[in-house]
Structure 1
């Protein structure tokens, strides 16, 4: 690399670090202002702010493009209405990081329902009674961060795959917040598969978000559009032959939540009796699509799930699609 290019690279890296520092300082400042407030007031305040300013942020274009891809039957006004509500949901979730310990008030033995209600209590208890590891999966719906806290309530040890934010300053703060309220975390980088496999081998359960873009993933569809999906979950299920449970969080009025655990899914199998990774990835996409259609304003339309550049597999040859 020439000295001029090296200098430009260093300058670009410094500019990025400076931008990250400014973004983090702003975010931490907002959260510091919210922290002294009562939880409901703080959450509702940031929700109202994001609902108002979100549509003017650069990421709004990605949101609307995603909605157009997924739901072409909706008109422009309907898509913009979903986008506004999605920004509101994002504002609530950001503020809820400050109050996670206060928000989760679920008590399996309580006679009255509090802020959190759980659908699938008997299923949680049944999983715990078996003493066997399981795989839970969810998507970016409602406040998905509450799900591993719920599992811990039923004495289920869950190691969750964690994708840190791109901003390293924010990533450290988010990781610290999660660590105090959840089980073990495995960053989604090189070695993540080995970390989750070890957890299952040791008898712990694992949790995975399955609705993110994965450039080296298996080709399938999501809302009828081509996408690539991370094959990690089906590969783990095939290796350990453990049950796979869908779980989601539904945001309710009044800063309340319903956590839903569904019965284990039967992942598709090939003629050899082993789990079919490609067909299983498609099943996961179909389940998340069902959830998103139920509550489209509660899914994070911010991600570039339909990025056309990811459809060009960097691994050449038909072997890239084999297990």
Structure 2
């Protein structure tokens, strides 16, 4: 395989990550926050399309009718994203020093494979630390984003928490990913799936008042759970103050075996949507996909 080629900008970002690793956690997070605020204010001045979407989303989802109030929320949102990007450099230290897990008793008696589900709030990469602390390997579905430098940084963090030599496998999203994950589940492996996702210019879950199709990662998680009769474990990761985080492990969800498999999967997918929607509404300025969300854009019709 040829060596990965990066642009000058990407080399600069990778160098910056290596520098940030040497700094204290709070300093790194504060640098990211400052960069995020500067980026937000510049985009507000330039009236970027994603700023317009954020105004609309904060108005419709939080009921903010006052322009300045929405603007402050936009700055808070982008500040959070700036922190997230910077904190990749020190996330291994955050996991040890600044990360609390609540609800571990809810899964202490589970024996056998499970499907962990999460959304992109807080610093979502800490899902790997949750799994690591419980001593298990996992098969993790991930989006192979086009920016290879940022993907490299993210994959390095993921593999630090859940290394491949300890049994964890990383499956890129693709047409064959569902089949691969089913095979691993049959072999007794647990899975990790993010049930909110952006694809083809649409945020496919949660619904947030829209009528969304029964497709995507939440439906994948539901179908796999129903076919193999395994529990789904929802895990919500939240940012507390500054660079402090908390994961809440919620009660396992078992597929309804009284229904046929198609209906059971649809019902479980609805439950997963409701959970994801609750998490996002509780934590909306910390939700990664907020700026990509277009509440008025229609979903493609089936088969189109």
Band of TM-score, shorter chain: 0.7 to 0.9
Of 111, 120, 129, which aligns to 2:103? 120
Match of 1:162 in 2: 142
What stretches of structure 2 of length at least 5 have no aligned partner?
163-167
Match of 2:20 in 1: 34
* Aligned partners of 1:245 and 1:265 also within 8 Å: yes
Q: Give the distance between the partners of 1:267 and 1:24, measured in 2 at CA.
A: 44
Q: Give the distance between the partners of 2:34 and 2:271, measured in 1 at CA.
A: 36
Match of 1:294 in 2: 282
Of 173, 178, 181, which aligns to 2:161? 181
Q: Aligned pair count?
A: 286
Aligned CA-pair RMSD = 2.9
Where do residues 122-141 of structure 1 align in structure 2 (5 Å cutoff)? 122-127=105-110, 130=111, 132-141=112-121
Question: CA, structure 1 residues 160+74, in 2 after alignment: closer, same or farther (shift >3 Å)?
Answer: farther
SS of equivalent to 2:191? strand
TM-score when normalising by structure 1: 0.78
Of 257, 282, 290, which aligns to 2:270? 282
SS of equivalent to 1:242? coil
Match of 1:99 in 2: 90
Where do residues 48-87 of structure 1 align in structure 2 (5 Å cutoff)? 48-57=34-43, 58=48, 59-72=50-63, 74-87=65-78
The one-character-per-residue Cα deviations of 1:72-106 (angstroms, maximum 9, x if unpaired) are 4554333322222221221221122111221111x
Question: CA, structure 1 residues 117+172, in 2 after alignment: closer, same or farther (shift >3 Å)?
Answer: closer
Where do residues 215-254 of structure 1 align in structure 2 (5 Å cutoff)? 222-228=207-213, 229-230=215-216, 231-254=219-242
* 1:178 shift after superposition: 1.9
The one-character-per-residue Cα deviations of 1:261-310 (angstroms, maximum 9, x if unpaired) are 00012456785365533333332222111112212221114453447666
Q: Give the distance between the partners of 1:43 and 1:184, measured in 2 at CA.
A: 29
Q: Give the distance between the partners of 1:306 and 1:284, measured in 2 at CA.
A: 21
* Aligned partners of 1:63 and 1:301 also within 8 Å: no
Q: Give the distance between the partners of 1:22 and 1:212, measured in 2 at CA.
A: 29
What stretches of structure 1 of length at least 5 have no aligned partner?
1-17, 106-113, 317-323
Work out whether 1:25 is the aligned partner of 2:11.
yes
Q: Give the distance between the partners of 1:274 and 1:167, measured in 2 at CA.
A: 37
Question: CA, structure 1 residues 271+184, in 2 after alignment: closer, same or farther (shift >3 Å)?
Answer: closer
Q: Give the distance between the partners of 1:158 and 1:24, measured in 2 at CA.
A: 30
* Aligned partners of 2:14 and 2:149 also within 8 Å: no
Q: Give the distance between the partners of 2:180 and 2:298, measured in 1 at CA.
A: 25
Match of 1:203 in 2: 188
If you compute each CA radius of gyration, which structure gives the higher value, 1 or 2? 1
* Aligned partners of 1:54 and 1:87 also within 8 Å: yes
Question: CA, structure 1 residues 81+225, in 2 after alignment: closer, same or farther (shift >3 Å)?
Answer: farther
Work out whether 1:152 is the aligned partner of 2:138.
no
SS of equivalent to 2:144? coil
* Aligned partners of 2:257 and 2:264 also within 8 Å: yes
* Aligned partners of 1:55 and 1:83 also within 8 Å: no
Question: CA, structure 1 residues 171+285, in 2 after alignment: closer, same or farther (shift >3 Å)?
Answer: same
- Bigger relative CO (Cα 8 Å, ≥ 6 apart): 2
Question: CA, structure 1 residues 118+176, in 2 after alignment: closer, same or farther (shift >3 Å)?
Answer: closer
